[in-house]
Structure 1
Amino acid sequence: MDQLKGMQSFVRVVETGSLSAAARDAGITQPTVSKTISNLERTVGARLLERSFTGLTVTDAGKRFYEQAKRVLDAYEEALADVHGAREQPSGAIRVSAPVGIGQAHLSAAIQHFLETHPKIQVELILNDRMIDLVEEGVDLAVRLGGELPGNLIARKIASSPRVLLASPQYLDRFGAPAALEELADHNFVRYAWLQGGDRITFHREGQASEVAVRGRFRINSSHAVRECLASGFALGMAPLWLVGDLLQSGQLVRILPAWEAAPHEVHILYPSRRFVPVRTRALIEFLQATIPAWPGMEKV
């Protein structure tokens, strides 16, 4: 049992980044956590953490041990769930990663609803538009929109959202609407800064594909800032319906060249490809799999 507690303390230190944070989470003192880690290192026969005045660094041996320890702890929790009947009331902490835009627009509220129906679960939601290493960051699952998916993760595609061309009525009053895709090059086109393909975008219409160049003086690495820019009338552009569906419905934005769409935003749930997925994580995966396709602007796949 001491070794199990040692693994639990070590995993939490890695995931929180400090002895003091791990101690606060466990409700014990920092010296107790430090002693537990030292005892674990003696048992393992290797240094797992390098300690310095600037903080902690996980050693190569520590990184390998962390991955194995997570599997052991997941299997332990799975066994407890079977014995105690915790499948009906899962418990524990879940770390979730998601893009900032969809996290602010929909996911945060959805997780709050999930927590209302699962009172013994805690969720840490980490919003970041960059793809992160789930194992290295101690993340249990991630929600991702499009892009290449890591081959070492389990990926479930659960929904998609069409990406369409839009402008505000104010913009169209000032500059007119493009009558063909080629005319997009004559307009101020705001785009997401990390959009794959750069200034060339491929649009589709009834099986036909057309790649066009767009030009604009404003690039933004925030989907919500793109939304605000479109609504203000500064530029026209492209956005997924999950981001702008309400603005279309209210008339603040209108579709242009509506027959053409870019490749949709595909929504995936990712989680580490390990054998044991904790009951609490499975519960959240199943909840998101049922909930996300019902969000405005989403389509079930």
Structure 2
Amino acid sequence: MPADPQPEALLTLLAVARLGRYTAAAEVLGVNHSTVSRRLASLEDTMGGRMLVRASGGWEITALGRRALAAAEAIEGTLRELGEDTGRDSLQGMVRVAAPEGFTSVFLVPAMVELQRAHPGLAVELLAATQRVRQNRSGVDLEIVVGRPVVHRAFATPVCDYSLRLYASPAYLERRGVPASIDELSRHPVVYYVESSLQVDELDTAMQRLPDSPPSIRSTSVFAHIEATAAGAGIGVLPDFLADVDDRLVPVLADAYAHPLSYWAVVRDEGPRNHAVAATLEALQRHVRITG
């Protein structure tokens, strides 16, 4: 009779499917890369086909692999229940979250500190990046993006709203004058992203209502925008949740310009069934509600 799939091999498949990489799965499971490879090869022999296929940026689960994932998740759930019955913390492993740096600093870091304090067995890796949603989410469990994403085989939910607005330092406005209209911004350097490196359409369109401006300081970092604006480099196009609490900055043309945006959370289609990922998203949403 053919051998039954081994539980450790199924749990290994689950880890690789979630993390997208053998090395990341090995780290979470506490084994080496060759052990992960050996377990998956054994599982494929037992199941009679490929469990994973290589894709750009990592490994993706196959249709046959999805059948095995259901059994792996059932095993994981049973083990979690046993841990809860014995009083052991059931939230273990690693969660990787990618998010824009401003959101990471204000919302994500405090939420994850609170979550990790409550569950010391959970490791959290934060990847700061302002980019469009990845259709291949290998290596990332939870992704925060600007604007409503169009995704396939994934779950997306809104997190919070914010706006880009205009700000400057009082010293700059005293030196250069306060613009009375949007058109007068053509006489002021505008601090914002480097246009050629901007990957998010919703951030790109923020400049469409503004006139061409003199040469200015541009950066791929929102915190560089904040610092350059505070130092008097020009008028910054800044997230209100960062600039409103910075006493070095004052609003400019508050009634004339605002570019509304929203943050969305995206997880793999199997992500909501991952206890650690679900707890991470819940902790983040709770923190945003409290601070919002």
Which bin holds the TM-score, normalised by the shorter protein? 0.7 to 0.9
1:62-92, CA deviations, whole angstroms, 9 ceiling, x for partnerless residues?
6556666555534433344456547994412
Tell me the distance in 1 between the aligned counterparts of 2:244 and 2:27: 42
Structure 1 partner of 2:159: 158
Structure 1 partner of 2:267: 271
Tell me the distance in 2 between the aligned counterparts of 1:148 and 1:267: 10
Secondary structure at the aligned position of 1:39 is classed as helix
Structure 1 partner of 2:276: 280
Deviation at 1:2, TM superposition (A): 4.9
Tell me the distance in 2 between the aligned counterparts of 1:30 and 1:173: 61
1:4-59, CA deviations, whole angstroms, 9 ceiling, x for partnerless residues?
3223334545736345x5444433344433322321232243456799xxxx9967
The 5 A counterparts of 1:1-301 are: 2-12=5-15, 15=19, 17-19=21-23, 22-46=25-49, 70=69, 72-82=71-81, 85=84, 89-93=89-93, 94-133=95-134, 136-146=137-147, 148-150=149-151, 152-193=153-194, 194=198, 196=201, 198=204, 201=207, 211-217=209-215, 218-247=217-246, 250=247, 252-274=248-270, 277-295=273-291, 299=292
Tell me the distance in 2 between the aligned counterparts of 1:180 and 1:213: 11
Tell me the distance in 2 between the aligned counterparts of 1:33 and 1:133: 26
Tell me the distance in 1 between the aligned counterparts of 2:256 and 2:49: 59
Structure 2 partner of 1:206: none
What's the C-alpha RMSD, in Å, of the aligned pairs? 3.5
Q: Where do 5+ consecutive residues of structure 2 fail to align?
A: none
Secondary structure at the aligned position of 2:273 is classed as coil
Deviation at 1:176, TM superposition (A): 1.0
Deviation at 1:108, TM superposition (A): 1.8
Secondary structure at the aligned position of 1:165 is classed as strand
Q: Where do 5+ consecutive residues of structure 1 fail to align?
A: 203-210
Higher deviation after alignment, 71-80 or 164-173:
71-80
Q: Which amino acid aligns with 2:263?
A: V
Change (3 A) 1:154 1:219: same
Q: Which amino acid aligns with 1:192?
A: Y
Q: Which amino acid aligns with 1:92?
A: Q
Deviation at 1:175, TM superposition (A): 1.2
Secondary structure at the aligned position of 2:259 is classed as strand
8 Å CA contact retained: 2:20, 2:138: no
Tell me the distance in 2 between the aligned counterparts of 1:29 and 1:200: 47
Deviation at 1:286, TM superposition (A): 2.0
Higher deviation after alignment, 261-270 or 5-14:
5-14
Tell me the distance in 2 between the aligned counterparts of 1:199 and 1:271: 26
Secondary structure at the aligned position of 1:157 is classed as strand
Secondary structure at the aligned position of 1:213 is classed as coil
Deviation at 1:164, TM superposition (A): 1.5
TM-score (norm 1): 0.76
Deviation at 1:179, TM superposition (A): 0.2
Tell me the distance in 2 between the aligned counterparts of 1:37 and 1:104: 38
Tell me the distance in 2 between the aligned counterparts of 1:291 and 1:65: 38
8 Å CA contact retained: 2:133, 2:149: no
Q: Which amino acid aligns with 2:213?
A: R
TM-score (norm 2): 0.78
8 Å CA contact retained: 1:98, 1:128: yes
1:260-292, CA deviations, whole angstroms, 9 ceiling, x for partnerless residues?
342323122222334852333222222211211
Change (3 A) 1:114 1:31: closer
Q: Which amino acid aligns with 1:42?
A: D
Change (3 A) 1:65 1:109: farther
8 Å CA contact retained: 2:164, 2:206: no
Secondary structure at the aligned position of 2:131 is classed as coil
